[in-house]
Structures are given as C-alpha cells and as structure tokens.
Chain A
Amino acid sequence: MSVLGVTNLSKTYRGVRAVDDVSFSVRRGEIVGLLGPNVAGKTTTINMILGVLEPSAGSILIDGIDVGKRRSEAMGRTNFAAVYAQLPGNLTVAQNLRIFGFLYSVSRVETRVRELLEEFDLVRFAEMKCGVLSSGEQTRVGLAKAMLNRPPLLLLDEPTASLDPSSARTVRERITEYARSDTGGVLWTSHNMHEVEAVCDRVLFLSHGNILLEGDPKTLAGEHGKSNLEELFITIAREPLSLEL
C-alpha cells in the first residue's frame, strides 16, 4: 500500500512552473530517492507534501489522507528532517522533543523521548540547549524529532549532509531499519550518489520540475549508458537532452 501518492502535482510561482505535473508514489517499507540538481523542484515538492505550500494543481495523499482536505490528520502521519529546519536553539534537546511530541500527539511522550535520546546517542545532550550543539548533533536531534510519531511517511531532505562518515553510516542504518520494519516509507533527497545507491530502493530524477527518470539506483546508470549514478546525475544537471531516454 502507498504511504504517499502524488498525482499531477504542479506549482507555479509568478508564471514560472517550479513543479510541472509530477506523479509518483512511495510504498510502505520502501526508500525512494528524490534526486536532481539545485532548483530542480525537490524542496518545492517536499514543501507541498508537508502542507506548507499550496499546490497550483494536483493532489497529495499521505497514508490515504488528502493533504488539501484534511491537512491536520495527514500531517499526523508524516514527519520530516531537513538541514535548513533546525529546532529552536533556545530550548534544550529534551524540551524540543517533548514539545514536538505533544504537537504530534505522541502517547507516553516522556518514554518516547527517552527511547529516541538513546537511539540517536543524544542522552548526554538532553539538557543542553540545541543552539550550542554542533551541526552534526543538531542533525541527529532533527532526526530524533522526525521519528517521534513513528510516521508512516518519513521525509528526509539531505539528512546526512552535515554528519561525519561514521555518524552518517549509523543514521543510514537506522533509517533503513525503520523502512525495513514496515513501519513506514521514506522519501529521501541527497546529493551523495554513493549514499543513494546504498540506501534507496528506487530513485526519481527531477529536472526543471519534471520527473526525467525513474528506476533502480543500482541499474539505472547502466541503462542510460553511464558508468555510475553520479555520472548520470551530472549529465541530467548539465545536458538533460543528451540522455538516452
């Protein structure tokens, strides 16, 4: 069953189409990579899924609930982490997690916060204000927040961008475990093609607001005459018309 169904989604800003008639889905237990160069429309798509940007056309279903019609219920079935959406620096890690726990109506908030502090190796930072943490530590707090409500749909916008290789691997393992446990599906954006190849079951290449390619990250590059995913990415970014589609 799909935890995310996006149908004919478009967004136009002052006459410019940032996202143009995009359709895709994410199934429970699946990790889907949303890839593309800057200004391809990835973040615009994610913002529409998160209900903070109204689509010009199309529909979004999260776990079967229409975001446009039942926003609050739909948002209760998703959560997200992004490098550009850090939690308030004037509250401690535990305070932030507790507040978002209430906002997501998590039952037994204190227990869940303790579990996540341990899971993301944040116990020693629990009473520290988020603003004094390193960017890597803040990223882990953001990921812990994203897991609070065990969302059927998890949205991750470059979740490992500011992590050291060891922490990045741990985070990848946690998220893979999460998806494989059939708790939810994951929509993942990243510019690290090695990471995408290792983690994602399926990738969507977005360029100028359109989905240009879709497929298995392990075979997609070869199918289009490229040696690896990074080369395919660069081709899409620089000369998308030269692709063998």
Chain B
Amino acid sequence: MSLKRMYAIIVRQTYLYRDNPSRFFQMFSWMLIDLVLWGFLSEYLFDIGNTSFSIALALLGAVLLWGFLNRVHQGVMMAFLEDSWSRNFLNIFATPLKLSEYVGGFVVSTIVTSVVVFVVVAFLAFLFFGFSIFILGVSLVPFLLILFLFGVSLGILAAAIVLRLGPSAEWFTWPIAAVLGPVVGVFYPVSTLPSWMQAIAYLLPPTYVFEGMRSVLIGGTFGFQDVVVGMSLVVVYALGAYGVFAWVYRTVIRNGQIARYTAESL
C-alpha cells in the first residue's frame, strides 16, 4: 500500500472543503438542525415534568451519536461521489492507485471531518442545552468506534451502488442511514418494536450503541457484552462492504462501465 497515493485522495478532500464554503457548511448543517430541534424538545419534556431528566438526556445523546453516524456515512460517500460528479473515474482508475488506497483515503479524510463536526456540535450541546456527551464516560469510545465503522460500511456500500448502477442511483444512497434509523432504536428502546423488527435490529451494530447509551444514562450500567457483539458485527459489515465494492469494481472493469461512465447508466 502506498501512503503517498492515499495522501493524494486526502489532499483532494482537503482542497474541496477548504476552498468551498458550501461544502464546509453542509458538513455541520443537518447535525446542527437536529441539535436545535431535539434540544428544545428535550427542554420542553423536562419542563412539563411528565418525563425524567434521564430521558431528556437520552434524546440529546441519541441526536449526537446518530448525527455522527450520518456524518461518517456521508463523508465517505461524498468523497467517492466527487469522482462521479466530475466524471473523473477514467483519470483516477488509470493511475497506479489501488482500491485499498482509494477507500483508505476516503476513510482517513472522513475521520478528520467527522471528529471535527462531532466535537463542535457536542460543545454547542453543552453550551446551549447543558448536555455533556462525556456523561457516557468510557463507553463513549466503543460507541463512537462502532458508529464510525458502520458509517464507513454504509458509505462504501453506497459507493458500490453508484459505481454499479450509475450516477442516477445516487438518490438511493443518501437516505440509507435514515431508513435504518427507526429499526436501530435511536430514540426509543428496541423492545418497543414488533418482534420481527427486533430480530432485524439485533443484526445491526448501531442497535447495541443506542441500547447501551440508554443503559448508561438511565440505568447507569455499561453492557460490556453488548459492545463486544456490536463491535464484532460491525467488523463483519465493514469487511463485507469492502468485499462488495471490490466485486463491483471488478465487474465494471470487465463490462467496460468505468470506461463509458455516463450520466444515465441506470
């Protein structure tokens, strides 16, 4: 693996974020909107006294962690979509760049952007709503790691879909994480769901994060076993997503799709 080639992908992302204020704004926008919306809702729930302080906290914690997952998913996906939007696949794939370096570049650049966004929004949550994400203690580390790896998996899967089906398939890929939201119990316990949805939920790594978060905030306990299950599952998802992307890449090289990548392949 060449670090120099991976660096090229990171440098490109840096130029795009640095020189385009709209991209910079987009990085923060949805997470900030969610923070404001759920922050005031939490305050309202707390004020009317029909709920406990912990539940209001759980909502804000969920917003921050869910926003982080979305940010990672979009970060990886957008890094790939840059090549689709600028029709750059021929230039990129005709260089010595290896697939692992290409994906590695997306992941490293996304670490930087998602951590920056998370830190800023977490600080604002503390400033305006008095919520400190550090209330989660050491559990925050495995929670963020699971969500990061799952976001990366979704981003790579989205890239594979666009590469295989063409640029118009981009519309399928933006809401991937949102579709999973109701299933993984972001704002409510998984036990609320019907049994068939619970079965699906426990196959998805973020479920263990949000269940674990509620456990820490409401019950004060940290489910180590759940974290291990979530972490094991997410490693399988990440390897699986990379495997799918590599398979799609081989397919489009074989059928000539990269060479004739056009606006409407789908």
Contact = CB atoms under 8 A, between A and B. Distances in A.
B91 A85 contact: yes
A33 to B, nearest CB: 21
Given A13-B256, A100-B91, A105-B4, 11 more contacts: A47-B259, A52-B94, A75-B96, A76-B96, A80-B94, A87-B88, A88-B88, A91-B12, A95-B15, A99-B8, A105-B5
Interface residues of B, number: 30
Interface in B84-119: 86-98
Interface string A35-52: 000000001100100111
B258 A53 contact: yes
B106 to A, nearest CB: 14
Contact of B253 (A44, A52, A76, A104): A52
Interface of B is mostly: helix
A98 interface: yes
B43 interface: no
Interface residues of A, number: 34
B90 A52 contact: yes
B253 A54 contact: yes
Interface in B8-28: 8, 11-12, 15-16, 20
5 contacts: A51-B93, A52-B90, A72-B98, A75-B95, A100-B91
Contacts of B89: 52
- Counting chain A CB atoms within 10 Å of each CB, which of B16, B86, B95, B98 scores highest? B95
Given A100-B91, A103-B95, A52 B11 contact: no
A171 to B, nearest CB: 19
A223 interface: no
Nearest to A91: B15
Interface string B230-256: 000000000000000000000001111
B38 interface: no
Given A87-B91, A91-B16, A104 B86 contact: no
Interface of B: 2, 4-5, 7-8, 11-12, 15-16, 20, 82, 86-98, 253-256, 258-259
B8 A102 contact: yes
B8 A103 contact: yes
Contacts of B95: 75, 100, 103-104
A98 B11 contact: yes
A73 interface: yes
Given A100-B95, A103-B8, A53 B259 contact: yes
Contacts of A8: none
A89 interface: yes
Contacts of B90: 50, 52, 82, 84-85
9 interchain residue pairs of minimum CB distance: A102-B8, A88-B86, A50-B94, A76-B96, A47-B259, A103-B95, A75-B96, A72-B96, A85-B90
A135 to B, nearest CB: 15
A219 interface: no
Interface string A67-97: 0000111011000101011111111000100
Contacts of A88: 82, 86, 88
A187 B192 CA distance: 66
Given A72-B96, A80-B94, A88-B86, A102 B259 contact: no
A47 B89 CA distance: 12
A145 B95 CA distance: 11
A90 B97 CA distance: 21
A99 B253 CA distance: 23
Contact of A73 (B87, B94, B96): B96
Contacts of B98: 72
A54 B15 contact: no
Nearest to A13: B256
A47 B97 contact: no
Nearest to A88: B86
A95 B87 CA distance: 17
A102 B98 CA distance: 13
Contacts of A73: 96
- Counting chain B CB atoms within 10 Å of each CB, which of A11, A52, A95, A100 scores highest? A52
B5 A102 contact: yes
Given A102-B5, A103-B8, A105-B2, A51 B15 contact: no
Contacts of B82: 88
- Counting chain B CB atoms within 10 Å of each CB, which of A44, A54, A87, A145 scores highest? A54
